[in-house]
């Protein structure tokens, strides 16, 4: 009888990349790449479930800070991308410019249902427009939860891709931002919303803008409001003032 | 060395399955680490192609994770992971093979494509072992798939016949016959190459 081989002679070893790839695909390990954005280079972390985090890449020591914050927050390992699909960086750059996460899958497992509702509402705000925290609270059906909305936006894991920078304080000031208020102002300026101007107008009592030809009143940055000819612009401080003057709220920006 | 035959009908509880039942996301990495060679080995026996085997092994683990995410903890705790993961891998391979038109795959199981277990101490032994291992890989790859899988599960991965029955979805007696025939075919192939 001829010998049978020992099991070792028949044993094969799994390729070293098998385990990391599996963990990436099921969403237990993430990888990040650097993508251009209107405010400078940005880190985008993702796994097989979708994009999980973004972070500013334009500061010294940004990579280390991003990796450390990610591990602390999500409890998963994060490493620079070993595989980038064709066109992925370009698609992410386009999504960062548009800032509504169109065509992007997100992994928001760590976000509460309330937080997701807030982020979904923020995604409705078009590029170049802003809304106050109170508007988001009302739109998601929790008009009293203004502070909770602010907190949920502050915990947005994917700033710029989900445009929490387009939500500002109800008193008209631009307000805080996870990456610093200077970045929020720069992001808005890149979309044509000039923060200094917005704050000045608000302080002067311009909170809403109506058109005396249509008798419709909008948020000042609504794309309809911006098409009103200067001579037809009618500023309002409160919606009650506008209603008293016979103006109805815009159906698009819903002031 | 032949592993001892597990004559028991029921399989012992798997401590890793208990961890998995408590914390799927926390323990899954350990499951992949513990069973990557098993899943890859079965994928290789099924596909006979290292690149296809890597894809299949990945997909099997992803499928396993998604299935586990939908199981209640008690069901996960009662799993015999080796047998269950083997079954997931073998079934996936079978479905793929059925979906695909039978494509002729050239035997490319040589040492250039395969990471073989290397346990030799001296370098000259390592060379001899690699050659011998490559030759045995080729013989195993030449077997009909169900025999190759039976030999892999029993002889290489050391599953009990009870585990094999669960992994292959066949009666214990059938898997025993497949192991014996597989081993006999391997011996015959070896003797044909090396006249005594």
| Cβ atoms of residues B133 and B109 within 8 Å | no
Same domain as B133, residue B97: no
| Cβ atoms of residues A207 and A238 within 8 Å | yes
A225: pLDDT strictly greater than 90? yes
Q: Is A33 helix (H, G, I), strand (E, B) or coil?
A: strand
Same domain as B132, residue B91: no
Q: Do A12 and B187 count as a contact with CB atoms less than 8 A apart? A: no
Q: Do B54 and A22 count as a contact with CB atoms less than 8 A apart? A: no
Beta bridge partners of B195: none
Q: Do A11 and B190 count as a contact with CB atoms less than 8 A apart? A: no
| Cβ atoms of residues A68 and A77 within 8 Å | no
What's the DSSP call for residue B10? Answer: S
Same domain as B145, residue B73: no
Average pLDDT over residues A23-38: 96
Sequence-distant (≥ 6) Cβ neighbours of residue A173 within 8 angstroms: A199, A202
Average pLDDT over residues A12-33: 95
Which of B1, B29, B54 comes nearest A6 by C-beta? B1
Tell me, what's the pLDDT at A3?
56
Nearest to A166 by CA among A128, A203, A197, A192: A128
Structural domain count of chain B? 2
- ipTM metric: 0.81
Chain A: residue nearest B43 by CA?
Answer: A14
A-chain residues within 8 Å CB-CB of B140? 10
Fold of the A13-201 domain = Arc Repressor Mutant, subunit A (1.10.10)
Give kind and range of the element (H or E) at residue B132: helix B123-142
Decide if B18 is inside a domain: yes
B-chain residues within 8 Å CB-CB of A5? 132-133, 136, 186
A-chain residues within 8 Å CB-CB of B117? 8, 11-13
Nearest to A3 by CA among B143, B194, B137: B194
| CA distance linking residue A145 with residue B8, whole number of Å | 61
- Domain of B57, CATH number, reads 1.10.1740.10
Task: Encode pLDDT of A146-155 as tens digits.
Answer: 999 999 999 9
Interface test with A, best of B3, B4, B29 (most A CBs within 10 A): B29
Q: Do B183 and A26 count as a contact with CB atoms less than 8 A apart? A: no
Mean pLDDT score of chain A? 93
Tell me, what's the pLDDT at B54?
96
Sequence-distant (≥ 6) Cβ neighbours of residue A49 within 8 angstroms: A26, A27, A105, A107, A109
Decide if B173 is inside a domain: yes
Tell me, what's the pLDDT at B99?
73
- Return the percentage of chain A with pLDDT > 90, whole number: 87
Interchain CB contact of B186 with A (< 8 Å)? yes
Q: Which residue has the higher pLDDT, B54 or A1?
A: B54
Boundary residue ending a domain (B70, B101, B132): B101
A-chain residues within 8 Å CB-CB of B153? none
Question: In the CATH scheme, what is the code of domain A205-255?
Answer: 3.40.10.10
B 110-139 residues with CB below 8 A of A? 114-117, 119, 129, 132-133, 136-137
Task: Encode pLDDT of A60-72 as tens digits.
Answer: 899 999 999 999 9
User: Checking DSSP bridges between strand A216-218 and strand A248-249, what pairing results, if any?
Assistant: parallel
Same domain as B128, residue B53: no
Which of B1, B116, B152 comes nearest A13 by C-beta? B116
Interchain CB contact of B147 with A (< 8 Å)? no
Query: pLDDT below 50 — which residues of chain B?
Result: 1-8, 106-107, 110-112
| Cβ atoms of residues B42 and B67 within 8 Å | no
Tell me, what's the pLDDT at B118?
58
Q: Do domains A13-201 and A205-255 have the same CATH topology?
A: no
Q: Do B191 and A2 count as a contact with CB atoms less than 8 A apart? A: yes
Q: Is A55 helix (H, G, I), strand (E, B) or coil?
A: strand
Nearest to A184 by CA among A201, A203, A205, A168: A168
Going from N- to C-terminal start, the domains of chain A cover 13-201, 205-255
| Cβ atoms of residues A10 and B158 within 8 Å | no
Q: Do B28 and A7 count as a contact with CB atoms less than 8 A apart? A: no
Sequence-distant (≥ 6) Cβ neighbours of residue A162 within 8 angstroms: A99, A100, A101, A106, A119, A122, A123, A156
Tell me, what's the pLDDT at A1?
46
- Domain of B190, CATH number, reads 1.10.10.10
- The reply to whether A218 belongs to the active site is no
Q: Closest approach of chain A CAs to the CA of B102, in angstroms?
A: 25
Task: Encode pLDDT of A126-170 as tens digits.
Answer: 999 999 999 999 999 999 999 999 999 999 999 999 999 999 998
Tell me, what's the pLDDT at B5?
44
Which two structure tokens, joined as six digits, stand for B8?
């028991």
pTM for the full model?
A: 0.84
Interchain CB contact of B190 with A (< 8 Å)? yes
Tell me, what's the pLDDT at A234?
94
Which of A2, A7, A14 comes nearest B156 by C-beta? A7
Chain A: residue nearest B36 by CA?
Answer: A14
Same domain as B138, residue B73: no
| CA distance linking residue A137 with residue B6, whole number of Å | 63
Which two structure tokens, joined as six digits, stand for A195?
């923060």
Which two structure tokens, joined as six digits, stand for A163?
């445009």
A24: pLDDT strictly greater than 90? yes
Which of A11, A18, A25 comes nearest B54 by C-beta? A18
Q: Closest approach of chain B CAs to the CA of A51, in angstroms?
A: 18
Q: Tell me how many residue pairs between chain A and chain B have CB atoms under 8 A apart.
A: 97
Domain that holds residue B133: 122-196
Same domain as B195, residue B128: yes
| Cβ atoms of residues B25 and A28 within 8 Å | yes
Same domain as B97, residue B26: yes
């Amino acid at each position: 009888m001829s010998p049978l081989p020992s099991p070792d002679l028949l044993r094969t070893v799994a390729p070293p990349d098998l385990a990391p790839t599996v963990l990436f695909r099921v969403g237990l390990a993430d990888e990040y790449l650097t993508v251009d954005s209107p405010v400078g280079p940005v880190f985008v972390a993702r796994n097989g479930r979708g994009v999980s985090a973004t972070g500013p890449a334009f500061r010294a020591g940004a990579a280390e800070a991003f990796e450390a914050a990610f591990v602390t927050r999500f409890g998963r390992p994060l490493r620079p991308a070993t595989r980038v699909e064709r066109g992925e960086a370009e698609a992410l750059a386009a999504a960062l410019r548009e800032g509504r996460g169109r065509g992007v899958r997100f992994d928001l497992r760590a976000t509460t249902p309330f937080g997701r509702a807030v982020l979904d509402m923020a995604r409705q705000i078009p590029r170049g427009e802003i809304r106050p925290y109170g508007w988001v609270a009302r739109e998601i059906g929790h008009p009293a939860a203004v502070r909770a909305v602010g907190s949920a936006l502050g915990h947005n894991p994917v700033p710029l891709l989900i445009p929490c920078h387009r939500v500002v304080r109800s008193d008209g000031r631009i307000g805080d931002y996870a990456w610093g208020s200077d970045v929020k102002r720069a992001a808005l300026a890149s979309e044509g919303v000039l923060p200094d101007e917005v704050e000045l107008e608000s302080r002067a009592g311009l909170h809403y803008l109506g058109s005396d030809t249509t008798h419709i009143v909008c948020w000042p940055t609504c794309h309809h409001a911006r098409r009103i000819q200067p001579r037809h612009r009618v500023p309002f401080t409160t919606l009650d003032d506008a209603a008293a003057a016979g103006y109805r709220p815009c159906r698009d920006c819903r002031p | 060395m032949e592993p001892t035959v597990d004559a028991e009908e029921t399989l012992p509880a798997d401590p890793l399955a208990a961890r998995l039942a408590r914390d799927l996301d926390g323990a899954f990495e350990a499951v992949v680490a513990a069973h990557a060679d098993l899943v890859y080995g079965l994928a290789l026996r099924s596909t006979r192609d290292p690149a296809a085997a890597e894809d299949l092994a990945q997909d099997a683990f992803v499928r396993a994770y998604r299935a586990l995410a939908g199981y209640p903890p008690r069901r996960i705790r009662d799993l015999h992971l080796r047998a269950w993961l083997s079954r997931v891998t073998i079934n996936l391979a079978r479905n793929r093979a059925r979906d695909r038109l039978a494509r002729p795959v050239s035997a490319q199981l040589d040492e250039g494509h395969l990471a073989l277990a290397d346990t030799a101490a001296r370098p000259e032994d390592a060379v001899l072992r690699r050659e011998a291992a490559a030759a045995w890989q080729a013989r195993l790859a030449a077997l009909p798939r169900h025999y190759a899988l039976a030999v892999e599960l029993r002889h290489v991965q050391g599953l009990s016949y009870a585990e094999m029955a669960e992994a292959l979805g066949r009666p214990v007696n059938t898997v025993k016959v497949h192991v014996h025939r597989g081993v006999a075919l391997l011996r015959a192939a070896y003797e044909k190459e090396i006249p005594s």
